[in-house]
Amino acid sequence: MKLAIIGGGPAGLSLAYLLKDCRNLDLTIFEAEERVGGKSFTYERAGHAFEMGTCYATRGDRLARKWMKDLGINFKRLGEATFEGTEFYSFAKQAAGPSLMIQGLTYLISRARLLRQLKINPDDPEVLSEAAMPVQDWLRERSLHKMERLFYRGMTTMGYGQPSETATIQGLRWIDRSLLISGMFNDLVMPEEGWSEFWRRIAERLDVRLGHRIETVQRNEAGVGIAWPDGREWFDYVVCAIPIDEFVALCQPPTESEQKVSEDVSWNGFVTTLAAVDDWFEREAARSFAGGILPDAMPGRLLSARFEAYEPELGGRLYMLNQLRGEFQHDELEEIAARDIEMDGGRLKHTLYQKSWKYHAFYKRDAIRKGLLTRLREMQGEKRSFYTGAAFSHEAVSKITQFNTELAARIARIARTHERQPAE
């Protein structure tokens, strides 16, 4: 069975890696750029590796951590992260209600209940209404005020939206037991060799065609035609591992489900900037900022900053700045960052490199109430197509690899059936 995967980022590569030993499966990955890794991108300069996209792995990244060990890639811990210089759990503990431990347990029990109900009664209007409500309202209904503050650290700082806007189902998917424990014990690790090197080594074991920008995807009963500027090839199935709206633009024509999902999902613009800053924080490894993550925060304000290295050749102390792009241009974002840094006691000297990402598939809450979650599940396999990535699981590598474990098992079953067909 021939399978094409469009997209050589973490979603496409991890799925292919899970399937690489599957019998009777001829698998090809098409990547538009001349590198693999997608939003896992390491910028190398002056002997340093700077993570411009994916920054760490939690305890939930079991597969990624295992693969790193198998590939001989070492871990390094992220280090202490604070909220404007204060330990984040201390900030959370200042909120109203029972102890953080009690609220954490209540949260995990309530989370498990809703996820179970979505599995048992996926079309129940009351269940869908709860899944669609802003996660801030969901937390406040349960008096989980300390947990709400943890959501600012674990969700908003990462560019996954404000609790006042993001649907409960998306907040609950990300903030799970393993993430809470990872934060509590500071068990957040980064690959010493860089995320780009990690995915490059994964890709070495796969058939990846770089620089293949797909122009059209045509599907019929006989198979799937994949065309790029100087070639065309037929496959039995295709996997969309790029944003669904970009896949829809390739399909001639897209399915009704593909079109609907592309309309029901919107994207943030997340910007990472490597900058030289004087007289700024030194004690902690990373710092989050109230102006960017607390309620009513405006796009462009600093969400967080991470100390990267001291390199005189590049301007001294180097930091990674994280912002939501909104409608701002590069120079405007730099001005906003400079003001926020100055308010925090530092001085922005200059920026060295900036990356803008199409980031975090944001589910429209009304679409959830109208059955988006069921559609995302049931469209798998329609018209010889499968789907993975942020819109179908979550932006985080851990969630994508968990999702791909089940998807790979399904594709492997089809491959085994395909193998038996000639004999029948």
Specify whether 287 is located in the same domain as 356: yes
Specify whether 343 is located in the same domain as 412: no
Q: Are 20 and 206 in contact (CB under 8 A)?
A: yes
Structure tokens that stand for 279 in this block: 């007289």
Structure tokens that stand for 274 in this block: 């490597």
Question: Is residue 374 assigned to a domain?
Answer: no
**Tokens 């001085």 found at:** 347
Of 141, 171, 189, the domain-final residue = 189
Q: Which of 284, 269, 273, 285 is nearest to 340 (CA)?
A: 273
Question: Is residue 262 assigned to a domain?
Answer: no
Res 387: pLDDT: 98
* Domain span at 63: 2-76+196-255+379-423
Cα separation, 372 vs 128, whole angstroms: 10
Q: Which of 183, 203, 160, 161 is nearest to 71 (CA)?
A: 203
Specify whether 326 is located in the same domain as 227: no
Question: Is residue 41 assigned to a domain?
Answer: yes
Res 423: pLDDT: 35
Question: Is residue 139 assigned to a domain?
Answer: yes
CATH code for the domain in which residue 129 is found: 1.10.405
Cα separation, 371 vs 123, whole angstroms: 7
Specify whether 152 is located in the same domain as 239: no
Cα separation, 195 vs 197, whole angstroms: 5
Specify whether 293 is located in the same domain as 240: no
Cis ω for the linkage preceding 253 (within 30 of 0): yes
Count Cβ atoms within 10 A of the Cβ of residue 398 and give its class: 0-12 exposed, 13-18 middle, 19 or more buried.
buried
Q: Is the dihedral of CA 270, 273, 279, 283 positive or negative?
A: positive
Q: Is the dihedral of CA 15, 16, 20, 23 positive or negative?
A: positive
Question: Is residue 371 assigned to a domain?
Answer: no
Query: In the chain, how many domains are there?
Result: 3
CATH code for the domain in which residue 297 is found: 3.30.70.1990
Specify whether 57 is located in the same domain as 124: no
Of 361, 389, 414, the domain-final residue = 361
Give the orientation angle of helix 10-19 with respect to helix 62-70, to 10 degrees.
Answer: 70
Specify whether 95 is located in the same domain as 160: yes
β-strand partners of 19: none
Q: Are 190 and 75 in contact (CB under 8 A)?
A: yes
Structure tokens that stand for 29 in this block: 């990955």
Q: How many residues would you count in the chain?
A: 424
- State the first-to-last Cα distance of the chain, in angstroms, to the nearest integer: 16
421 Cβ contact list (under 8 Å, min separation 6) = none
Parallel/antiparallel/unpaired status of strands 81-83 and 286-288: parallel
Question: Is residue 370 assigned to a domain?
Answer: no
Res 419: pLDDT: 59
Of 189, 208, 231, the domain-final residue = 189
Question: Is residue 369 assigned to a domain?
Answer: no
> What are the helix (H) ranges across 20-163?
62-70, 88-93, 100-120, 125-132, 135-141, 145-151
Q: Is the dihedral of CA 385, 390, 394, 399 positive or negative?
A: positive
| pTM higher than the cut 0.75 | yes
Q: Which of 38, 35, 67 is nearest to 53 (CA)?
A: 38
Q: State which residues of the chain have pLDDT below 50.
A: 421-424
Rg for the chain (alpha carbons), in Å?
22
Parallel/antiparallel/unpaired status of strands 208-209 and 26-30: parallel
Question: Is residue 171 assigned to a domain?
Answer: yes
CATH code for the domain in which residue 15 is found: 3.50.50.60
Cα separation, 122 vs 169, whole angstroms: 12
Specify whether 177 is located in the same domain as 239: no
Cα separation, 173 vs 132, whole angstroms: 13
Specify whether 200 is located in the same domain as 72: yes
Res 75: pLDDT: 86
The pLDDT tens digits for 100-144 are 999 999 999 999 999 999 999 999 999 999 999 999 999 999 999
